[in-house]
């Protein structure tokens, strides 16, 4: 490998091999087109000697394809986002695509800026896990026919591929499990519903479950990070309602962040999980087995979600024009101490 002050170009290779640039380019892109073996060899060795790599920038300019995928994440701090990101990155890389990352840091207003920034780099498609505060840029992008796939959060009026946990199944799984364990006073704790489709869907599924199981009584409360007292109050109220009808109370936490808040609140109240109150959290985490008696969770196939999302996108990028799909993957129950059979 020859020392390269600047990067060498296709022209360098051509000169080195004593052929034209076109020939080198053909060697690279149309291997099927027969080049005379002798020339092929010359080009090949020249490439090897110079350690030549085509400039994706120039290629992109010429072909109009960048081999880049834009990934916009609501919050890179959220383990869920990361897990999905991981799956997506794998699938993209395997397909020869690189990922450009834009993190919203939970500032929904930056959504448009992010999409435009990535867009300007001519990414060939988007994987979006956003807040949905500003569908404007999304619509614009969709209208331009640029492929995109939504993860976890659906935006109304956007007819595109969508990959997500089967929220209905996940909630039913949790609720049924708690029900079977003897918890009949349920409380769903969620982050503010707002426009976030996954949260709304889970709340709806929860209501449906409660409606379909008469012995069960259930409510839903929104929890904000700042307001710890409100959550504690909601927990106390739930337990009081349970006592009044001599039932056992239990919480379903809508995601890992909320689960941790519930754990903290229960801790401050001096209660014991799986004894004073039941708990199932959506999103399995590595620490769940070791908090208190172990926290029961519904595990999302995050890696698979990311992969599926990327695969959908790759198909579209490759030109597929099938109708928008909705891919719903089921969650798995991880039963632990926090939902052990209630002893009234």
Partner DNA sequence: TTGTATGCGTTATCAC
Partner DNA sequence: GTGATAACGCATACAA
Of the two residues 34 and 344, which places its CB atom closer to DNA in the complex? 34
Short-list 253, 260, 224, 256, CA closest to 238: 253
Rounded Cα distance between 234 and 211, Å, is 21
Question: Which of these, 71, 127, 124, lies nearest to 99 by C-alpha position?
Answer: 71
**Half-sphere exposure (Cβ direction) of 148: Cα atoms closer than 13 Å:** 30
Per-residue x/- marks for DNA, 16-45, CB under 7 A? --xxxxxx-xx-xxx--xxxx-xxx-----
| Tokens, residue 2 | 């020859």
Residues 51-70 that bind DNA (CB under 7 A): 52-55, 58-59, 61-64
Contact letters (x/-) for DNA, 271-300, by CB under 7 A?
------------------------------
Q: How far apart are CA 57 and CA 44, in angstroms?
A: 22
21 touches, from its own copies, DNA, none (C-beta below 5 to 8 Å by class): DNA
Give the phi and the psi of residue 144 in degrees, each rounded to 5. Answer: -70, 0
CB of 82 to DNA, least distance (A): 34
Name which of 29 and 326 has its Cβ closer to DNA: 29
Q: Which of 7, 31, 116, 224 binds DNA (CB under 7 A)?
A: 7
11 binds, among its own copies, DNA, none (CB under 5 to 8 A by kind): DNA
By CB under 7 A, is residue 321 in contact with DNA?
A: no
**Structure tokens of 92?**
């993209």
Positions in the binding site for its own copies (CB under 8 A)? 4-5, 7, 53-58, 60-61, 66, 76-77, 79, 82-83, 85-86, 89-90, 93, 98-103, 105, 116-122, 144, 260, 263-264, 267, 285-287, 289-292
- Beta-carbon-side half-sphere exposure of residue 71 (alpha carbons within 13 Å): 24
Largest Cα span, the chain? 91
Residue 318 binds what, of its own copies, DNA, none (CB under 5 to 8 Å, by partner type)? none
Q: According to CB under 7 A, which one of 9, 49, 90, 221 is a site residue for DNA? A: 9
Bridge partners, residue 187, by sequence: 219, 251
Environment class of residue 84 by beta-carbon count within 10 Å: exposed (0-12), middle (13-18) or buried (19+)?
Answer: buried
Number of residues that bind DNA (CB under 7 A): 33
Q: Give CA–CA dist 296/281, Å, rounded.
A: 6
Least distance to its own copies from the beta carbon of 232, Å?
15
Q: Which residues bind DNA (CB under 7 A)?
A: 6-7, 9-11, 18-23, 25-26, 28-30, 33-36, 38-40, 52-55, 58-59, 61-64
């Amino acid at each position: 490998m020859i020392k390269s002050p600047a990067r060498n170009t296709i022209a360098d290779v051509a000169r080195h091999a004593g052929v034209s640039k076109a020939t080198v380019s053909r060697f690279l892109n149309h291997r099927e087109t027969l080049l005379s073996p002798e020339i092929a060899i010359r080009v090949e060795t020249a490439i090897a000697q110079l350690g030549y790599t085509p400039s994706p920038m120039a290629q992109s300019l010429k072909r109009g394809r960048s081999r880049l995928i834009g990934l916009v994440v609501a919050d890179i701090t959220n383990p869920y986002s990361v897990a999905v990101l991981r799956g997506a990155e794998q699938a993209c890389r395997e397909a020869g695509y690189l990922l450009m990352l834009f993190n919203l840091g939970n500032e929904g207003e930056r959504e448009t800026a992010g999409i435009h920034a990535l867009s300007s780099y001519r990414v060939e498609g988007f994987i979006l896990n956003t807040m949905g505060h500003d569908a404007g840029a999304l619509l614009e992008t969709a209208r331009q026919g640029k492929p995109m796939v939504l993860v976890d959060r659906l935006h109304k009026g956007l007819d595109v591929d969508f990959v997500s946990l089967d929220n209905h199944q996940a909630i039913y799984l949790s609720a049924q499990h708690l029900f079977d364990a003897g918890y009949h006073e349920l409380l769903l704790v969620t982050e503010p519903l707002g426009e976030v489709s996954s949260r709304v869907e889970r709340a709806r599924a929860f209501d449906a479950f409660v409606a379909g199981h008469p012995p069960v009584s259930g409510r839903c409360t929104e929890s904000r990070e700042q307001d710890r007292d409100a959550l504690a109050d909601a927990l106390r109220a739930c337990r009081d309602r349970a006592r009044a009808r001599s039932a056992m109370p239990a919480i379903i936490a809508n995601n890992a962040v909320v689960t941790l808040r519930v754990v903290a609140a229960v801790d401050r109240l001096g209660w014991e999980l799986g004894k004073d109150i039941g708990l199932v959290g959506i999103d399995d985490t590595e620490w769940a087995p070791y908090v208190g008696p172990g926290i029961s969770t519904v595990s999302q196939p995050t890696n698979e979600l990311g992969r599926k999302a990327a695969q959908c996108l790759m198909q579209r990028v490759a030109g597929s024009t099938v109708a928008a799909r909705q891919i719903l993957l089921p969650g798995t129950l991880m039963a632990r101490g926090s939902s052990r059979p209630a002893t009234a």
